[in-house]
Amino acid sequence: MKQINQRGHLKSDDEFRLLLNRVDEIYADDGKKDEVEVLNKLMSDYENSKMSKLSD
C-alpha cells in the first residue's frame, strides 16, 4: 500500500483489488476519509487508463 501511494498509480488489477479491499475496511471511519479519497482517486485513474487503452 505504501509503495502504491508513493508511486502514485496502480500497475495491475491485483493492486486495484488490494486498494478496493482497504477502502471497504475503512470507508465508515471518519478519521480515514482523506485516505479513502486518495485511494478512490488512484482506482479511478487506473480504471480510466484501462478504458483509454481499450479504445485505442
- Kindly report, residue by residue over 13-24, the tens digit of the pLDDT: 999 999 999 999
Report the chain's terminal Cα–Cα distance, integer Å. 30
Closest CA to 9 of 32, 39, 33: 39
DSSP conformation class of 1:
-
Break the chain into its structural domains and give their ranges: 2-55
pLDDT tens, residue by residue, 26-41: 999 999 999 999 999 9
pTM flag (> 0.95):
no
